[in-house]
Amino acid sequence: MRIGVFLGAWGALASTEHIRNFAEVAEAAGFTTLWVGDHIVIPKVQGSTYPYSPTGQSPFRADDFLFEPISLVGYLAGRVSRIGLGISVYVLPLRNPVLSAKQLAGLQALSGGRLSVGIGVGWLRDEFQALQADFEARGRRAEDYLRVVRHLWTRPQDPIHTDAYAVPAVGFAPVPSPLPPLLVGGNSAAAIGRAARHADGWHPLRISAQRLAMGREQLRCAATAAGRDPATLKVVLRRPLMGAHELGADPPRPADGLWAVLERRLHQYHIAGVDEFVVEFPLDTVTPGRQLAWLEWLGARARGAFE
């Protein structure tokens, strides 16, 4: 099981200095991947329920400083040279799929083939309204846009027509090589089905090991029904490994038993079928300096633990 880390580049953690330091520490500490999130705008009034919190309360404030992921990953590709780079998750139906295909292909070329992309349908209705995108049709459009993106990466010389989009024969370069893995993000049955039919894997967020094992079995069944080999589909989980109470202090001395506790947590997910665990730090729980200290501490212990 690979161990990655998530860079929450918004609010107090969105400074250029912290982003640079976080990426460099993550690479030096031995994490296999570095992931960033995606929002374009945060509306002043948010009427949507946040699906990844028990309370449904959105963690995003309209005045928070944040970067959109294409420019951020482009910056990171020039700052670190070995660690994989990912987007968790890129809200594809918010955007034009031809432009998305081009930008993501460019990132794959500029990063030397280190890109992975989690694809999501989005949850923030008000953000869709701000970009004049169809919120109600986002699931269907995500599937169609996935087809368009992959088509442009592999057969741009042929036209493609889907229910939501049509592209004539075009020239398209650079063609990404290798093709960036496309993982469908989300915890719903619809997301698992979409991953089984159209993607390279499933990217759940903040679920228990028991729920993940159930989802892995659903993925296997759906892939088989779609005529695909389930063994080719990866599961990349993003969730916190440590709680706010643990992160509220400096990392413990090596003699402390916290790593044994965290290793057991990771092992549960390894057994449940996770191919990569992306460690997320809970928002607004730790200062930039302390976050870097924990990142270094965790990397020193997790390196090679599940390979």
Residue 17 belongs to domain spanning: 2-302
Backbone phi and psi for residue 6, each to the nearest 5 degrees, phi listed first: -105, 130
Are residues 126 and 43 in contact, defined by beta-carbon separation less than 8 angstroms? yes
Pairing of strands 115-120, 182-185: parallel
Q: Is residue 96 part of a domain?
A: yes
pLDDT at 173: 95
Residue 273 pairs with which residues in a beta bridge? none
Q: Is residue 22 part of a domain?
A: yes
DSSP state, residue 8: -
Q: How far apart are CA 146 and CA 117, in angstroms?
A: 11
pLDDT at 14: 85
Backbone phi and psi for residue 168, each to the nearest 5 degrees, phi listed first: -75, 175
Q: How far apart are CA 198 and CA 203, in angstroms?
A: 13
Q: Is residue 89 part of a domain?
A: yes
Q: Is residue 84 part of a domain?
A: yes
Q: Is residue 307 part of a domain?
A: no
Q: How far apart are CA 99 and CA 254, in angstroms?
A: 48
Are residues 241 and 287 in contact, defined by beta-carbon separation less than 8 angstroms? no
Helix (H, G, I), strand (E, B) or coil at 251: coil
Model pTM score: 0.94
Q: How many domains does the chain have?
A: 1
Are residues 35 and 86 in contact, defined by beta-carbon separation less than 8 angstroms? yes
Six-digit token pair at 184?
A: 């469908």
Q: How far apart are CA 301 and CA 298, in angstroms?
A: 5
- Among left, alpha and beta (phi > 0; psi -120 to 50; other), residue 206 is left
Q: How far apart are CA 39 and CA 90, in angstroms?
A: 8
Q: Is residue 210 part of a domain?
A: yes
Q: Is residue 294 part of a domain?
A: yes
Q: Is residue 285 part of a domain?
A: yes
Supply the CATH number for residue 166's domain. Answer: 3.20.20.30
Q: What is the pLDDT along the chain (307 residues), one digit of tens a residue?
A: 999 999 988 887 889 999 999 999 999 999 999 999 999 998 888 888 888 877 877 777 788 888 999 999 999 999 999 999 999 999 999 999 999 999 999 999 999 999 999 999 999 999 999 999 999 999 999 999 999 999 999 999 999 999 999 999 999 999 999 999 999 999 999 999 999 999 999 999 999 999 999 999 999 999 999 999 999 999 999 999 988 788 878 888 776 788 989 999 999 999 999 999 999 987 666 788 889 999 999 998 887 666 6
Q: How far apart are CA 23 and CA 58, in angstroms?
A: 26
